[in-house]
Each structure stands twice: as structure tokens, then as C-alpha cells.
Amino acid sequence: KNISMRALALRRVALFSRQVIVALEPAAVSEAAATFAPRGITAEDTAVFLIGMAPFVWATVEFWRRIAVGEPFGTTSDSVIIRDTSGPDTLPERRRVLGRDAIITARLLFVAVGIALCLVVLAGLQVLGTAGPPVVD
């Protein structure tokens, strides 16, 4: 009953570390590696991916639409407009305008996203194109 909290915590750490060491013995690791088989892409995986992409697709369309028609980003008087600043200034005062550098940055970011999506599709096609895991005799 007189065991301090620190001593109790140290005993728990020691017990946990012994369990981890026992669990990571080479025989257990090699057995686990031999029984692993990739499951492929399921219909649920595809559904989750598509549902997860929906907000980003909507945000992309809305982003470029606002740039195309010159609508502001934001809902307060501190909103921002992204447009090419080479023409005459016809905007009301006190509105911040982001110029050509913001458009270039946005395009570069969307190119990076496009490359990432292409890599995801390529990886998916590679997984779907395989006949299954190799058979180990």
C-alpha cells in the first residue's frame, strides 16, 4: 500500500517493455511476414475515396469560379479578390487584391495536386491489374 506512484509507473513501463521485446522475437516477425497478403482495393475503399474527394472537387470548382468572375474570398469587409492587377483599378476602396503571383501559386498548387491524383490512380491500376498475391509453396 505504500508503493509510490513513481515506482508503480516504473514497474508498468518495465512490464510493457518486456512484453514488447517478447512480441518482437525474430520467429514471430518472420511468421507474420510470411502470412501477409495484400487484400487489394475493395468497393468500400473506392467509396470512401470518392466521398472524401467530393469536398475537394467542389472547393476547386468554387475557387476557380470565384477567380473567373471576380468574386471575393471571405464574408467580411476584410475579403480578398484574386485578379490580374495589370489593368485599371475598379475595385472599391479597402478591399485587398492578390495579383498575378497568387494566381501562379494557385496554379502550381493545383498542378501538384493533379500529379498526386495521377499517382493515386496509377497505384490503383497497378493493384487492380495484379492477378493476386504470389503463391508460396
pLDDT confidence of residue 51: 92
Cβ(83)–Cβ(70) under 8 Å? yes
Cβ(128)–Cβ(40) under 8 Å? yes
- Tell me the HSE value of 53 on the side-chain side, using a 13 A CA sphere: 12
Q: Per-residue pLDDT tens for 6-56? A: 666 666 666 555 555 554 455 555 555 566 666 777 888 888 988 999 999
Rounded to whole angstroms, the Cα distance separating 28 from 113 reads 40
Q: Per-residue pLDDT tens for 56-96? A: 999 989 988 888 888 888 777 778 887 765 555 555 555 67
> What cell numbers appear for 28 in the block?
514471430
> What cell numbers appear for 97 in the block?
487584391
Domain ranges of the chain: 1-36, 39-137
Rounded to whole angstroms, the Cα distance separating 70 from 49 reads 32
